[in-house]
Structures are given as C-alpha cells and as structure tokens.
Chains A and B, each alone.
Chain A
C-alpha cells in the first residue's frame, strides 16, 4: 500500500497559465463588447384592405413634420431650423394656454399617479420624409421629437414625484408614460418636396 501511495504524483500545474491564456485570447477574438444603442420606435401595422387607410384625426390634434430631399425640416408647413423642432413639439404637446388651435386634452384617470387624474394630450406628431432625405437628418429629427417627449416626461415626473424620470421605479414610470404618451407616427411613405 505505501508503495502505491508514493506512485500518485502531483499534476504539474506549470502549463495552467498557458491554457488560461489561450482561452482568454480566444474570447478576446471571438466576442464583442459594444452595447447597441438606438432610438426605439414601433411601426404601425399595415391597414387592412377594406379599412380606411388613414384614421381621422382632428386637425388641431395633428402636428405635421416634413423633411424634404434637401434635408429641410418643416413643422406645420413652415420651414424651421432643426434646433427649433423640439420646442415646437413641446409647445404642441403641452398646450399650456389651452389654445383652440393646439391639441385637446382629456382628463384621464391614471393608476399610481399622485392626484389620480391627468390632462392627457391627444396630440399626434406625424413625421413624413422624402425618399431623398438623408438618414442622418431623419435620425436627428427623430431624436429631437423623442427629446421633446422625454423633457415633458421629466417635467411631469418632477412635478408629481419630485424626482427625474430616470430615477423612478417601474410603476411610477408606467404612470408617467401613460400621462405623456409618445405619439410619434411614421406616416405612409410619400414624396415630399418633389422628385
């Protein structure tokens, strides 16, 4: 028995580092680290054949944003600088002065919101682009519109929960999202601004 015990040798661990290095190099080569970020949108379903293509939205509830092939941006048929798009969108969504030309608001009961009720705007922003619009400009406009919604959400969140939107928990976030919906529609493709 003692002779047997002596025969069992320790495994040499000297090459362990090399093996670990090999694995490490494999993972370095075969994997990527970057996190994908992007502007998230939900596309509208294709309307059924017997259904009317466009849902009736009252004129005051609709804000048209056009981008033509020269990358000019028009809000409500008026060419504006891209930096002003956000302010125009905010003004439209908030309608602080209850202007009859700006969207109506509807008192809605929202669960989890302090005060229970909130005047939810019925406004819809419709973004239309030309086939010749550059993707860069399109994304910049999308970004400005998202920024408008996010700023309003932050504002409402400060008012109701005294915290910025990013620090809210899931339920509070849901309540704010219901109070300030992100209604940005990507309209059916059209040729804006000629061919």
Chain B
C-alpha cells in the first residue's frame, strides 16, 4: 500500500495519440463535404416521408428561398428572398446562374444536373412557381424539393 502511494500511477503513454487523432481526422475528411456557401436566408425545411437522398453532391446546385437571416433583416426586411451563390438575387438571374453552374460540369454530367430547392415552409408557392418556371426556361428539368425525413404520421 505504502509503496504504491509513493510511486503513483505510471504516466499514460501519449505516443499513440497522433495516430488516434489522425484516425478521427481521416474519418471526418471522408464522411463530410466542404461547406461552400454562407446562408443569407433562414429556412425550416418541410417534412416528408418519401424523400430520396441526393447522390453526388457535385451535380447539385442549390437555390435557397426564405426570409433574410437575422443580421440582414434590418436591411432587407422579412419578405422571402432568393439566394443564389452568395447573394440575394431575383428570378431573372436564375437563367444565368443555371448556365454558369452547368458550365462547371463535364459534358456527360450536364444531363444529370439537379437543382435543389431549399425553401422555407412558410413561403408561398408564388415565389416557388416563378423559380420553377425560370428553371424550365433554363432547361434545368431535374429538381429536388429539399425536405426532412419524417417518420410517418
């Protein structure tokens, strides 16, 4: 008893700590994707049960629709706005946006381009319909209404 108290516990070896951290690092590198844009609108996605996963993030372009975020509210009010890339835009800019997004993709991926509409639950369909019409004009026919997976009713 006495001897043990004198010696204390042997220090834990930290030699394998870098390996452990590297393992966690690699896990995060593989399982996550880069955050590519800052959100300027707030949204709560609607809930749905029949959602499908969006495969291949590189083929997906996002259109965010919702009221401006808290820090922007004093400037832009609370009417729903459309965000493309990193700024507020109007429906007229969608044509150009789709064209530039399509240019980024390789020739064989262009047909598989998907536009993901992330709209707030309280948005009225008027805005969404305008966006949809503009997407049809831009020949971006594949769309996905972003929704959260709900567990049935």
Chain B residues near A16: list those with CB within 8 A: 18
- Cβ-defined contact, A37 with B125, below 8 A: no
Among B21, B52, B136, which residue has its beta carbon within 8 angstroms of that of A39? B52
A152 to chain B, nearest CB (A): 13
Pairwise interchain contact B25-A24, C-beta atoms closer than 8 A? yes
| A115 within 8 Å of B (CB atoms) | no
B120 touches A35 (CB 8 A): no
A147 to B49, CA, bound (A): 8
Confirm or deny: A13 has a beta carbon within 8 angstroms of a beta carbon on chain B: yes
| Mask: chain A, 38-68; 1 = CB below 8 Å from B; 0 = not | 1111111110000000000000000000000
Q: How far is the CB of B122 from chain A (nearest CB, A)?
A: 7
From known contacts A37-B51, A130-B125, infer whether A135 and B25 are also in contact, taking CB-CB under 8 Å. Answer: no
Asked if A96 lies at the interface with its beta carbon under 8 angstroms from chain B, I say no
Query: Does the CB pair A32–B33 fall under 8 Å?
Result: yes
How many Å from the CB of B57 to the closest CB on chain A? 8
Which of A16, A37, A83, A132 is the most central at the interface, judged by chain B CB atoms within 10 Å of its CB? A37
Residues of chain B in range 1-56 having any CB-CB distance to chain A below 8 Å:
14-15, 17-18, 21-22, 24-25, 28-29, 31-35, 46, 48-54
Q: Does A108 interact with chain B (Cβ within 8 Å)?
A: no
Chain B residues within an 8 Å CB radius of A39? 48, 50-52, 144-145, 147
Instruction: Give the CA-CA distance A133 to B119 in the complex, in Å.
Output: 13
Query: Looking at the complex, which of B71-79, B95-103, B126-134 is the stretch in contact with chain A?
Result: B126-134
Pick the contact of B50 from A23, A36, A143 — CB < 8 Å?
A143
- Are B124 and A131 within 8 A (Cβ)? yes
Contact in complex: A30, B25 (CB < 8 Å): no
Q: Which residues of A contact B34 (CB under 8 A)?
A: 30-32
What separation, in Å, do the CA atoms of A132 and B126 have in the docked complex?
A: 6
Number of interface residues of A (CB under 8 A): 45
Proximity string of chain A (19-38) to chain B, C-beta cutoff 8 Å, 1 when within and 0 when not: 11101100110111101111
B121 & A134 in contact (Cβ 8 Å cutoff): yes
Contact A17 B137 (CB under 8 A): no
Instruction: Judge if A139 is at the interface, Cβ distance under 8 Å.
Output: yes
**A157 contacts the other chain (CB 8 A):** no
In the bound complex, residues from chain A placing their C-beta under 8 Å from that of B50 are 39, 143, 146-147, 150
B28 CB, min distance to chain A CBs, angstroms: 5
Residue of B21, B114, B132, B147 near A37 (CB, 8 A) is B147
Asked whether B143 lies within 8 Å of A142 as measured between CB atoms, the reply is no
In the docked arrangement, what's the CA distance between A33 and B153, Å?
A: 27
Q: Which residues of B contact A (CB under 8 A)?
A: 14-15, 17-18, 21-22, 24-25, 28-29, 31-35, 46, 48-54, 57, 60, 114, 116-117, 119-126, 128-129, 132-133, 135-137, 139-149, 153
Which residues of A approach B to under 8 Å, CB–CB?
13, 16-17, 19-21, 23-24, 27-28, 30-33, 35-46, 83, 129-136, 138-140, 142-143, 146-147, 150, 186, 189
> Across chains A and B, which 10 residue pairs bring their CB atoms closest together, nearest first?
A131-B126, A31-B32, A38-B144, A20-B21, A16-B18, A37-B51, A146-B50, A143-B48, A139-B46, A136-B121
